[in-house]
Amino acid sequence: MSDFFEHISGRVAAATGRPWAFILAALVIVVWGVTGPLFRWSDTWQLVINTGTTIVTFLMVFLIQNAQNRDASAIQAKLDELIRAVGHARNDFIGIEHLSEAQLVGLIRALERDAGGDDEAAHRRAIERLIERR
C-alpha cells in the first residue's frame, strides 16, 4: 500500500506542478463562472465549485506533505553524508533532525555563542577562523 501511495503521490505531485495543470484549473473556474447565468446562479451551481475545490484541496494537502517529507529526507541524507565525508566536521550533527524544537533552539544558541554571539566583531573573527581552517 505504501509503495502504491508513494508512486501515485509522486506522479500527481509532478503533474500538478506543471503549467498546464494551472491552466486547466483556471479553465474549470472560467467555465464554472460562465455557466452561472445558465443555472441562474443557483445554490447547486455554487455547491458544485465549493465541493469540488474542497475535495481537491483536501487530497492535495496529503500529496504535497508526502512530497515534502520525501524531499526533506533526501536533503537530510545528503547533508548527513557531507558531514560524514568532511574531515573536520562534527559527526555529532548527524541525526539532529530528530531533536525536539527546544533542543534545536538550544543547539542554535550554543553554536551562535561559540561563533561570537551578539558581538559582531567576535562573530566576524569566528567566521574568519573557520575559513582559515579550510
pLDDT in tens, 75-118: 999 988 888 888 788 888 888 888 898 898 888 888 777 766 66
Of 84, 91, 55, 65, the residue nearest 6 (C-alpha): 65
Q: Tell me: pLDDT of 6 over 90.
A: no
Average pLDDT along the chain: 87
* CA gyration radius, the chain: 25
pLDDT of residue 117: 61
Distance CA 16, CA 64 (A): 10
| Percent of residues, the chain, with pLDDT higher than 70 | 96
Residue type, 128: E
Q: What is the DSSP string of 54-71?
A: HHHHHHHHHHHHHHHHHH
pLDDT of residue 129: 77
